[in-house]
Amino acid sequence: MNNTLRSLLIALPWAAAAIVLAMRYMPGEPPPQLPAVTLTTLEGRQLDAAALRGHPVLVTFWSITCGPCLHEIPDLIDLHRDLAPLGLIILAIAMPYDPPNRVLALARERQLPYGIVLDPMGKTGTAFGEIDATPTTFLFDAEGRGVKRIVGGMNVGRMRKAIVTLLPPAPPHADHAALAPAGLPHALD
């Protein structure tokens, strides 16, 4: 076997692995619709995803041991603070391997104002498609149509712009606090 062919055979698996890894951290296709799942909040309440219709929804799959996930928390808090009064719902779905008591402790410690969902059996993650890495973030419009899927850290500026295009126009001089979604004030408070 000549040296060129041998080098090619050695390099090919590494190149394929690099391509696969690069693709994992690129935007991908979201599910066409918000999956019809029943979510369990950190407080143990059941929430049918169909109840979220009428609002843009940002869903992020995260883990308490994921550095990029923890790094995104301040950005998610800012998005919630600025856009939940205008109709945005944010749900952070903890991975099945995260102990619920540790998720609760982190949510309290960081004072997370948005909805925290537990997925102990992984059924919610399966309904969204394969969740290979955290964070994995999805954006759905008010009709539940998939708009974005991002694997890895999100660019919060781009995400904010995408969300704003999905929000209803606010009336001039509106009291934004009064515009919070009825029945879902600030995403499951």
pLDDT tens per residue, range 46-67: 999 999 999 999 999 999 999 9
Indicate whether 172 pLDDT > 60. no
More confident residue, 92 or 183: 92
In which band, very low, low, confident or very high, does the pLDDT at 31 lie, cut at 50, 70 and 90? confident
- Omega into 135 within 30° of 0, i.e. cis? yes
- Domains delineated in the chain: 28-168 (3.40.30.10)
Model-level pTM?
0.78
What is the C-alpha separation between 145 and 127, in angstroms, rounded? 14
More confident residue, 68 or 9: 68
How many other CB atoms are found less than 10 A from the CB of residue 103?
21
Cβ(59)–Cβ(29) under 8 Å? no
Average pLDDT over residues 35-47: 93
**Taking all residues of the chain, what is their mean pLDDT, rounded to a whole number?**
83
Indicate whether 114 pLDDT > 50. yes
Helix (H, G, I), strand (E, B) or coil at 49: helix
Element of type H or E holding 19: helix 3-24
The lowest-confidence range among 76-90, 135-149, 163-177 is: 163-177
Cβ(91)–Cβ(58) under 8 Å? yes
